[in-house]
Structure 1
Amino acid sequence: MLSYFIVTICSFISNLLGALWRTVSATAGSAVQEPPALAFMEELNPRQQAAKQLKQSFLQALLANDAQEVLRILHTSKLDIDTVLEVEDPGMVLASYKQGYWLPGYKLENSWAMGIHVCMMYGAVETALVLLQEGAAVNRMPNGKTPLHVACDVSNSDCVMLLLAHGAKISSLSLSGHTALHYCITRESVDCAKQLILKGADVNMPSNNNDEDTPLHTAARFAVPELVALYLAHGASVDAVNSFQETPLMTAAFWAFDSKEQIYSENHHLVCRLLLDHKADPNLQEEDNKTALHKAAWNCDHVLMQMLLEAGADTRAMDINGCAPLQYLLKVTDVRPMAIPELCYQLLLNHHAARVYPPQFHKVLQSCHEYPRVLEIMVNCYERLKPTRKWRAAIPDDCYKRHKDFYDSLFSVCTNTPRSLLHLTRCAIRASLGGFCHSRVPQLLLPPRLKKYLLLTPEGLLY
C-alpha cells in the first residue's frame, strides 16, 4: 500500500513538472533553448562516457553471441559481469510486473537486464556459458524475471539445461508471481517443462498472484495438449482450482472460442478431452456457480458441449443468477456467426435440459428469430404451445418475410388444439425415456429417419 502511494505521488509530481515545462516552452516560443539544468544533467564527463561506451560494446557483443569479445571485455576492463543494461524489449520478455502497477509508457519498449538475461532472450548459449563460468549471478531479476524465467518464456531448452546445471532455482517466483513452469506456454517449451520437472519442479504450485493458477491451468488456457499430458503424467491435480474456483477444464472450455477471430480452437477441445479422460469433474462450479457446460454454451460450442454431456455434465445446473446452460445459449445465439446453434439446442434437450417456461417463449423468438431450425427444435420439445400477442412482435417483419414458410407453419401448429398424432407420440416416447433420449433412442429398432425425428432433428417446417 505504501509503495503504491509513493508511486502515485511521484507520478503526480512528474506530471506537474511536465505541465510547467510545457507552459514555459509555449510562452518562450520555438527559439527557446534547452534549460541549462537539463543540459547539464545530460552532459557526461569523460569517465562516464567511457563507461557508457563500454556497456554498449558489451551489449553488442552479447547480442551478436560473440563469446570471445565478451570474454575480452570482462578480462581487460573493470566492467561488472552482473552490470544492469537497458535492452530493447517490446515483447516484454525480460520484464515482469505486479498486477495493478502503474507503468509509464517509456518503460514498455525497454527493460533492464543483466548479460545472462540477454543471452537467454536471444538463445546465445555459448556466450551464456562464458558468463556462467566467469561467475555471473544466475538467480537475480533486475526487471522481475530470473534468467530461467526468460529461457522458458522463449522456449529455449538448451538455455534451461545450462541454467539448471549452474544452480538456477526452479521455484523462484517472478515479480508477477509466476514460476518457470508458468512461462512454458508453447509446444516448443515442452522440453523446458520436462527438464524442470525432472529437477523437482512442483506441477501443482499455484502462481502467487490474484489468479493462483497452477501450471495445468496455464497449459489449458494456452491450449498445449503436450504440456497438459506431461503435467497429468507427473501428478498434476486434474481438478485443481484457482482463486476463482475455476478448474483447468473450465479454463479450457472458456478459452476454446476466440471472440475476436470468431473461430473455435481444436487444441482447446483436445485439452478438454485429455482432462475428461483423466476423470475431470464436469459438474464442479466456480465462484459464480457456473460449470464448464455453462462456458461451452456461452461459446455456442457444440463439439465441446457434446464432450461434456457424454462425460455426465448436468444440463440443469444453475449459476448464481439461476441460469442453466440453455439460458446462456439463448443469450448468444445471434452473436456467434460461426456456430451451429441448432446442434447445441438439440444436444441440451436430448440430455434432459429444462425447457423454457411456455409464457416466456416470446424471448426465444426474440433471440433466435433468424434461426428457424433452432425454433423448430425448441417448439417440438413441447406437446403444444399457445402463442401470445408477444410472439409476432418478437419477429421483425423482414425476418418473417425471409422465412415465411416456416413462420406460417409455426403459427398454424401453435394453437390451442393438439398437434399431430405423430408428434404426440414423439413427445410420449421422449417423456418415457426422460434424460436418456440421447442414449436410448439410437438403440430402438426403428428406421433411421424415425430416430432422427425422436431426437428433434429439424426438417424445415412444423406439422
Structure 2
Amino acid sequence: MSTKIKWRKPKKIRSDVIATAKATGHTLQFWHALLVGDELTVISITDEPESSHLVNAIYDTSDIEEWMNYRLNYRSLRLWSLTYEQELTTPLHIAAGRGFADCLRHLLRREADVTLSPGGTTALHEACEGGHGECARLLLSYGANANAVNEDGLMPLHVCTSPESLECAKHLLQFGAAANGRSLEEDDTPLHVAARHGLLDHVDLYLRYGAEVEKQNDEGQTPLNAACSEPQAPEDRERYLRVCRMLLRAGADVHTEDRDNQTPLHMACKQVNPDVVELLLRRGASVNCMCYSGDAPMHNVLKATAYKSRNQPERVVRALLNHGSIRVWPGALAKVLKYCCTSPRTIEVLLNSYDRLKITDAWSEAVPPDVFQEHRQFYESLFALKQTPRSLQHLARCKLRLLLEGRVHEAVPKLGLPTFLQNYLLLDFRDYVH
C-alpha cells in the first residue's frame, strides 16, 4: 500500500505590529458585548466617533489576560516562537462564528472589512463552519469572497460539514462559489466533503449546481470512494446508503480505484457497511478485484470483523459469497476463527460455503473460554463436526451453489422454491452448523 506524507504549509512569519485596540474605556466592554451578542451595546459603542475604529480591530487572544491589560496601545506579536501560537480574530469573526446576525449586520453597516483574515481564515469561513446561514448571507451581500481560501487551503464550501450548514452552502453557490473548487492539500471538491460526512442534502445541492461525480482527489478517491471509506456507526448507515445511491444515480462508477487500487466495494467492506455493500454488488461491483496490497473485499471484511461486530459483518460475508467471492484457503480457517470468533454468524456463513471441514484441536484453542460460553450452542455444533461429516442437505446445497457459481444471488429466486429453501441456499443464518 502506498504511503504519502503530507506537509502542512507553514504559517507566514510576520514581523509587523498589530493594534489590538486603542486603550479606551470601551475596549473591554465592546469585547464582552461581541462574545454574548449584545446588539444594543455594540451599536452604542460603534456609534461613538472615538470608538468607530473598533469594528476593524484585530484582537490577539492567544493570552487573553495579557490582552486585557491594555495600558499600551500596541503590542508586538511574538510570531517567531515555535511554542507561541497566535489566535487573531476580529469583531466580524466573533459575530459570524457565534451566529450573532444582528451584531454582524451593524458591524457591516459601519464598514467592517469582510476581507480581513488575520488568523488565516475569513469571517465567512467562521459562519459556514458554524452553520450560520444568515451570517453567511450577510457577509456575501457585503462583498465577502465566496471562494476565499483559508490557511488550510479550504474554501467556504469545504467547511460546510454539518447538516446545519446547508443554508450556508446555498448562499455560497448563489454568490458564485465554485461547485468543483479544489482544496489545496487534499484536492477535495465540496462533493467529496459532503459525501464523506454523509450529507445527503448537500450532495443533492452540489449535483444540481454541476458538481462532477467522478472527480478524484489527491488520494485518487471519487466522492463515492470517499463516502464508502468513512467509518460509520450502525445508526449512520442509512444516511450513507442514501448518499451512495444518489451518487450512483448521478453516474458514479463502482469500479473506480483510488491510488491503492481500492474500489468503493473494498472500502465499504473495510468499514463493514452491509447496506452499501449490497447496493454496490447490485450495481455490478467486482467482487474479487485485488487492491495494491493483494486483498479482495472478502479479506477486508474479515480483518474488520473483530472490532466491528455491531455492524453485522455476517451480512457482508454472505453477500460477497452469494456474488461469487473467493473463499479463505481451508488451512487458514483456524486463524480466521481466532480473529472472528466474537461474531459466530460470520463464522457460520463462511463455513457453510465449504462442503467439508477439517476441524483440528487448533480450532477449539482459537476460541477463548468466555466467547465459547457466550455462544455455547453454536460452537458446540461446530466442534461436533470434528468426528462427523456434513449433512446431506448441506452437501446438496454446496453442489447446487457450485453449479450456479457467481449467479447464486440472481438464479435462486427464479427457481420457484419455497422461501425457506431459497433462504437456505442463500446461506441464511441458523446459529448452528450441521
Superposition TM-score, scaled by structure 2 size: 0.83
**Per-residue displacement from partner, 1:51-87 (whole Å, max 9, x unpaired)?**
25443233344441235314323x2347364221245
Instruction: Specify the alignment match of 2:405 in structure 1.
Output: 434
2:219 is aligned, of 241, 244, 256, to 244
Please give the residue correspondences for 1:228-239 in structure 2 after superposition, counting only pairs within 5 Å: 228-239=203-214
After TM superposition, give the deviation of residue 424 of structure 1 in Å: 2.8
Please give the residue correspondences for 1:61-72 in structure 2 after superposition, counting only pairs within 5 Å: 61-62=33-34, 63-66=37-40, 67-72=42-47
**Per-residue displacement from partner, 1:264-314 (whole Å, max 9, x unpaired)?**
443223222222222322222212222222222222222222122222222
Q: Is residue 2:395 matched to residue 1:424?
A: yes
Cα gap change, 1:157 to 1:396, in 2 (>3 Å): closer
Q: Is residue 2:194 matched to residue 1:194?
A: no
Instruction: Specify the alignment match of 2:73 in structure 1.
Output: none
Please give the residue correspondences for 1:300-339 in structure 2 after superposition, counting only pairs within 5 Å: 300-339=272-311
Q: Is residue 2:225 matched to residue 1:253?
A: no
* Rg comparison, structure with higher value: 1
SS of residue matched to 1:79:
helix
Cα gap change, 1:155 to 1:462, in 2 (>3 Å): closer
In the alignment, structure 1 segments of 5+ residues that lack a partner are: 11-47, 91-100
Q: Is residue 2:347 matched to residue 1:375?
A: yes
**Per-residue displacement from partner, 1:113-170 (whole Å, max 9, x unpaired)?**
2222223223343443343333322212011111221221222222222222222111
Instruction: Specify the alignment match of 2:147 in structure 1.
Output: 171
Instruction: Please say if residues 383 and 418 of structure 1, whose CA atoms lie closer than 8 Å, have aligned partners that are also in contact.
Output: no
Please give the residue correspondences for 1:56-455 in structure 2 after superposition, counting only pairs within 5 Å: 56-62=28-34, 63-66=37-40, 67-73=42-48, 75-77=49-51, 79=53, 81-86=55-60, 104=83, 107=86, 111-209=87-185, 211-258=186-233, 264-388=236-360, 390-397=362-369, 399-400=371-372, 403=375, 406-413=378-385, 419-455=390-426
Instruction: Please say if residues 59 and 85 of structure 1, whose CA atoms lie closer than 8 Å, have aligned partners that are also in contact.
Output: no
SS of residue matched to 1:303:
helix
Instruction: Please say if residues 309 and 343 of structure 2, whose CA atoms lie closer than 8 Å, have aligned partners that are also in contact.
Output: no
Work out the percentage of aligned pairs sharing the same amino acid. 35
Q: Aligned partners of 1:50, 1:202: CA distance in 2, in Å?
A: 39
Instruction: Specify the alignment match of 1:94 in structure 2.
Output: none
**Per-residue displacement from partner, 1:317-367 (whole Å, max 9, x unpaired)?**
222211112112221222224222322211111111101112222222212
Q: Aligned partners of 2:84, 2:236: CA distance in 1, in Å?
A: 34
Q: Aligned partners of 1:156, 1:297: CA distance in 2, in Å?
A: 36
SS of residue matched to 2:88:
strand
In the alignment, structure 2 segments of 5+ residues that lack a partner are: 1-6, 65-79
Instruction: Specify the alignment match of 2:76 in structure 1.
Output: none
Q: Aligned partners of 2:323, 2:216: CA distance in 1, in Å?
A: 27
Instruction: Please say if residues 149 and 179 of structure 1, whose CA atoms lie closer than 8 Å, have aligned partners that are also in contact.
Output: yes
Superposition TM-score, scaled by structure 1 size: 0.78
Instruction: Please say if residues 261 and 290 of structure 2, whose CA atoms lie closer than 8 Å, have aligned partners that are also in contact.
Output: yes
Instruction: Please say if residues 149 and 180 of structure 1, whose CA atoms lie closer than 8 Å, have aligned partners that are also in contact.
Output: yes
Cα gap change, 1:118 to 1:459, in 2 (>3 Å): closer
Q: Aligned partners of 1:345, 1:71: CA distance in 2, in Å?
A: 65
Using CA pairs under 8 Å that are at least 6 residues apart, name the structure with larger relative contact order, 1 or 2. Answer: 2
Cα gap change, 1:370 to 1:121, in 2 (>3 Å): closer
Cα gap change, 1:189 to 1:102, in 2 (>3 Å): farther
Q: Aligned partners of 1:455, 1:273: CA distance in 2, in Å?
A: 24
Paired residues, number:
404
Q: Aligned partner of 2:232: which letter?
A: F
After TM superposition, give the deviation of residue 204 of structure 1 in Å: 0.8
Q: CA RMSD in A?
A: 3.2
Instruction: Please say if residues 355 and 395 of structure 2, whose CA atoms lie closer than 8 Å, have aligned partners that are also in contact.
Output: yes
